[in-house]
């Protein structure tokens, strides 16, 4: 039984990441253990438009299918505001902002535990500052100077031996 829950959790996390990559926001995954007879996990993906809703749905179906995970049932195929993909123990809700306001779906799952789904970068090992500078050759180099050729092309060089043209003197009339 726990193997099934783990596989449903993996499906939920994968669907959340796929939706996030397609700019669905907010994205939430809920653990429905003991609260729903329908599924173990629910994924909520809010989108801004009908075309984005279709794109998120198609990408989830396609990428999970590539991993050997097939959607068992789809609901809302004619709807332009809400679709549900049923993966057995995982339900994926894709909906627009109007449907979110009307149905208040986030309140339906408010009592459920949220599942972390975002990939966290591996913590970088801490190194002393002196070692970082020693390993990073760019840190030692001073800022690159502009070449004399480029500077010469921009403004003429000054020659201290060259005289400035004499200012014109005007004769004062008396």
Domain assignment of residue 173, yes or no: no
Residue 33, C-beta contacts closer than 8 angstroms, at least 6 positions apart: 5, 40, 113
> Is there a contact between 82 and 76 (Cβ–Cβ < 8 Å)?
yes
Cα 117–Cα 19–Cα 63 angle in degrees, nearest 5 = 100
Give the pLDDT score at 14: 96
Give the pLDDT score at 134: 53
Separation of CA 134 from chain center = 33
**Nearest by Cα to 46 from 92, 108, 110:** 92
Domain assignment of residue 42, yes or no: yes
Tell me if the pTM is above 0.85.
no
Give the pLDDT score at 3: 73
> Is there a contact between 14 and 67 (Cβ–Cβ < 8 Å)?
yes
Residue 55, C-beta contacts closer than 8 angstroms, at least 6 positions apart: 22
Give the pLDDT score at 25: 93
When divided into structural domains, the chain yields a total of 1
Look up the domain containing 43 and give its range.
Answer: 2-114
> Which portions of the chain are predicted below pLDDT 70?
1-2, 120-174
CATH of the domain at 88: 3.30.460.10
Domain assignment of residue 153, yes or no: no
Domain assignment of residue 170, yes or no: no
Domain assignment of residue 44, yes or no: yes
Domain assignment of residue 159, yes or no: no
Give the pLDDT score at 108: 86
Give the pLDDT score at 137: 53
């Amino acid at each position: 039984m726990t193997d099934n829950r783990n596989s449903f959790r993996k499906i939920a996390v994968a669907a959340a990441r796929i939706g996030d990559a397609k700019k669905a926001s907010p994205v939430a995954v809920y653990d429905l253990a003991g609260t729903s007879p329908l599924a173990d996990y629910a994924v909520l993906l809010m989108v801004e438009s009908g075309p984005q809703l279709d794109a998120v749905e198609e990408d989830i179906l396609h990428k999970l299918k590539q991993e050997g995970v097939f959607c068992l049932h789809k609901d809302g195929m004619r709807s332009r505001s809400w679709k549900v993909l049923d993966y057995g123990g995982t339900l994926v809700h894709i909906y627009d902002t109007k449907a979110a306001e009307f149905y208040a779906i986030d309140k339906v799952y408010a009592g459920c535990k949220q599942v972390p789904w975002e990939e966290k970068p591996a913590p970088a090992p801490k190194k002393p500052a002196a070692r970082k500078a020693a390993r990073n050759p760019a840190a030692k180099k001073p800022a690159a100077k502009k070449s004399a050729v480029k500077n010469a092309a921009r403004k003429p060089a000054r020659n201290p031996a060259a005289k400035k043209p004499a200012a014109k003197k005007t004769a004062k009339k008396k």
